A and B are shown apart, each in its own frame.
Chain A
C-alpha cells in the first residue's frame, strides 16, 4: 500500500509513536490502520492513490481485540480501468461495506481537522458524518440513501427539460424520510459532543471560558420527533420548490446543515483568536473520543497524524491528558514530542519500521 511493498507490525498496547522525516511513510501507515476502522482513507477520495505505483493491488489486514473478542479485518483495493474496487473481509469472510463499518472504532486527528472552526460548513458536516457513520450502521445507510436521492434530484433540476413533478416528488419523499433520520442522529450527537467538549474545555481554561456547540439544521424544527421534523421538512420543500426550480439547486435539507462553535456566546470563527480556535478543535476531538467511548462501551483506537507537531507542547500535553486513558494510540511526528511518556517508539525510514528510540 502506498510506498510500502510489505510490512508486518505488532504494535504495543498504549502509545505507539512513529518518528521520521517527511515523505518516509508515516502517514501512510496511519492511513492503513484507519482504513481498517472506517473503510475509507482519511486523506483522499481517490482511493486508487492508495495502491503502490506500478502495482495493481493493495491489501491491509489486521487483528483487533474488541469487546466482542478478536476479529480479523481485511481491506483489499484492486486497480480497475476507471479507478479502484474495494473488498472488505471480516474473519476471512467477504462482507459488504455496511457490515464492515464499525467493527473497529477509530478516532483520527489530522492537520486538516484544525479547520473544523474556520473551514466551510462542509468540513463540519463531513466530521459529523464520519463520526456518526462509524457509530451507527443505520446512519451510514440513511446517509447513502439521502445522497443518492439528492444527486438524482439535482440532476433532474439541472436537466434541460423541465423537471417531471411526479419524479421530483419521489426523490423529495426519500430526502424527507432519510433526512429526518440524519437530523435526529446529528441532534443527539451534537448535544453529547457539546457536553463532553465543553467539559474538557472548561478544565483547560480553569472555567474562565465557555465553549458551546450548537447544531444548526437547515430545516428548523420545533420538537425533536420524527413527525415534527418530517412535517417541517415537507413544508420547507413545498415553500422552496419554486426557488429550487429557478436556481436549479436542491436548497432544502440536511446537506446544508452546519455546526456552530461559540466561545462565551460569540462565534469562534468570527471572533476567536487562532489559539482559541485550536483549543476548541482539540476539545471537540477529545469530545468525539469520549462520546464514541461511552456509546460503544469500549475505547476507540486513537490516530494522531502529525498534529502534535503542529501544536505547541502545552496544547499537545493538554490534548493527551484530555483524552485520558486510551487503550491504544498511534501517533506520527517528525520529532519525538516532549509531551509523550511511556511510549513505544519506532523510526520510519523509507517505508521501513525500525523499533526502538531514534
Chain B
C-alpha cells in the first residue's frame, strides 16, 4: 500500500472524515472510499444529500425529545396512542427498537443519555426537569423506565423512580429475563438469577 502522502488529496480527506465515525477505522474507511470511487456519480450524490438532509431537516420533538421532521413528532400527535403511559428511554434509537416490537402503544420521553458523573453527566445534563414538568402537566397513569440493564441504566432508573413515584400513580421498570428461544444452560448466572427474582405465576 502506498504511503499516505502519495494518495490523491480528496481520497485522503474522505478517509479521514470516515474514520471519525464510530466502529470505522482507517482500513474500513479506505475500503469504503475505494468502493465509492468505482460507483456512478449519482450514487455518491444521493449519499451526500442524505447525510445533509439528516442534519438540515431532522430536529428534536419539543414534547418527547425524539428525533423528528415535524414538531411535535408523529408519535406525540397520534391520537390512537395512549397518552396516559410514558416510556422513558435514554436515546432516540431506543424508540426504534421498542417500536419494532409493535407491542407498545403509549408515548415516549427521551432523556438524552444516562446519569454518569464520571462522564460529567448528572440529572441536570439530561431532560429530567422536562420529564418532571411533563408528568405534572399530563398526569399519566404509568411511567415505564426503559433504560439499559447496566450500571448507568440502573442508577438512572432508581434516581427517576424516587423522583417520580410521588407524582405518578405507577412507575415501572422493564422486566429482566431470559431471551426467547434461548437455552437455560446458555444464560449467564446474573441474568438467570434476575429471571428467578422476577418470576411470575402463570
Q: Which A residues are within 8 Å of any B CB, using their own CB? A: 80-81, 96, 98-99, 137-138, 141, 145, 148-149, 151-153, 155-156, 159, 161, 164, 166-167, 170-171, 174
Instruction: Given A81-B25, A152-B116, A155-B117, verify A137-B155 contact (CB < 8 Å).
Output: no
For residue B115, which residues in chain A have a CB less than 8 angstroms away from its CB? 167
* Distance from A135 Cβ to chain B, minimum over Cβ atoms (Å): 15
Partner of A164, one of B120, B122, B151, B190: B122
* Distance from A85 Cβ to chain B, minimum over Cβ atoms (Å): 12
For residue A149, which residues in chain B have a CB less than 8 angstroms away from its CB? 151
- Judge whether A170 and B190 touch: CB under 8 Å: no
Partner of A159, one of B117, B151, B159, B163: B117
Instruction: Given A141-B190, A167-B122, verify A152-B155 contact (CB < 8 Å).
Output: yes
Partner of A161, one of B116, B122, B189, B190: B122
CA–CA, A168 and B140, complex, Å: 28
- Judge whether A96 and B188 touch: CB under 8 Å: yes
Q: Can you name 21 A-B pairs with beta carbons within 8 Å?
A: A96-B188, A98-B188, A99-B188, A137-B189, A138-B189, A149-B151, A152-B117, A152-B151, A152-B155, A155-B120, A156-B122, A159-B117, A159-B122, A164-B123, A166-B162, A167-B122, A167-B155, A167-B159, A170-B155, A170-B158, A171-B155
* Distance from B179 Cβ to chain A, minimum over Cβ atoms (Å): 15
Q: B115's closest neighbor in chain A, by CB?
A: A167
Q: From residue 104 to 140 of chain B, which have CB atoms closer than 8 A to chain A?
A: 115-118, 120, 122-124
Instruction: Given A164-B123, A167-B159, verify A156-B117 contact (CB < 8 Å).
Output: yes
Chain B 56-96 per-residue mask, 1 if CB under 8 angstroms from chain A, else 0: 00000000000000000000000000000000000000000
Partner of A166, one of B118, B159, B188: B159
- Judge whether B118 and A155 touch: CB under 8 Å: yes
For residue A159, which residues in chain B have a CB less than 8 angstroms away from its CB? 117, 120, 122
* Distance from A255 Cβ to chain B, minimum over Cβ atoms (Å): 15
Partner of A151, one of B118, B123, B124: B118
- Judge whether B118 and A152 touch: CB under 8 Å: yes
For residue A166, which residues in chain B have a CB less than 8 angstroms away from its CB? 159, 162-163
* Distance from A261 Cβ to chain B, minimum over Cβ atoms (Å): 34
* Distance from A160 Cβ to chain B, minimum over Cβ atoms (Å): 10
Interface size on B, residues (CB 8 A): 18
* Distance from A296 Cβ to chain B, minimum over Cβ atoms (Å): 17
* Distance from A163 Cβ to chain B, minimum over Cβ atoms (Å): 8
* Distance from B113 Cβ to chain A, minimum over Cβ atoms (Å): 14
B116, B118, B163, B189 pick with most chain A CB within 10 angstroms = B118
Q: A159-B117, A171-B155 are in contact. List 10 more A-B contacts (CB 8 A).
A: A81-B25, A96-B188, A99-B188, A138-B189, A149-B151, A152-B155, A167-B122, A167-B123, A167-B159, A170-B159
The 7 closest A-B pairs by CB, nearest first: A155-B117, A156-B117, A155-B118, A148-B151, A152-B117, A170-B158, A170-B155
For residue B155, which residues in chain A have a CB less than 8 angstroms away from its CB? 152, 167, 170-171, 174
Q: A138's closest neighbor in chain B, by CB?
A: B189
* Distance from A141 Cβ to chain B, minimum over Cβ atoms (Å): 7
Instruction: Given A145-B151, A152-B155, A161-B122, verify A167-B117 contact (CB < 8 Å).
Output: yes
CA–CA, A299 and B5, complex, Å: 57
CA–CA, A342 and B96, complex, Å: 65
* Distance from B23 Cβ to chain A, minimum over Cβ atoms (Å): 10
CA–CA, A325 and B54, complex, Å: 68
Q: B25's closest neighbor in chain A, by CB?
A: A81
Q: A141's closest neighbor in chain B, by CB?
A: B190
* Distance from B158 Cβ to chain A, minimum over Cβ atoms (Å): 5
For residue B151, which residues in chain A have a CB less than 8 angstroms away from its CB? 145, 148-149, 152, 174
CA–CA, A9 and B143, complex, Å: 59
CA–CA, A138 and B190, complex, Å: 9
Q: B158's closest neighbor in chain A, by CB?
A: A170
For residue A156, which residues in chain B have a CB less than 8 angstroms away from its CB? 117, 122
Q: A155's closest neighbor in chain B, by CB?
A: B117
For residue A96, which residues in chain B have a CB less than 8 angstroms away from its CB? 188
For residue B124, which residues in chain A have a CB less than 8 angstroms away from its CB? 161
* Distance from B150 Cβ to chain A, minimum over Cβ atoms (Å): 9
Chain B 148-189 per-residue mask, 1 if CB under 8 angstroms from chain A, else 0: 000100010011001100000000000000000000000011
CA–CA, A149 and B152, complex, Å: 9
For residue B189, which residues in chain A have a CB less than 8 angstroms away from its CB? 137-138
For residue A152, which residues in chain B have a CB less than 8 angstroms away from its CB? 116-118, 151, 155
CA–CA, A153 and B118, complex, Å: 8
For residue B190, which residues in chain A have a CB less than 8 angstroms away from its CB? 141
Q: A153's closest neighbor in chain B, by CB?
A: B117
For residue A174, which residues in chain B have a CB less than 8 angstroms away from its CB? 151, 155
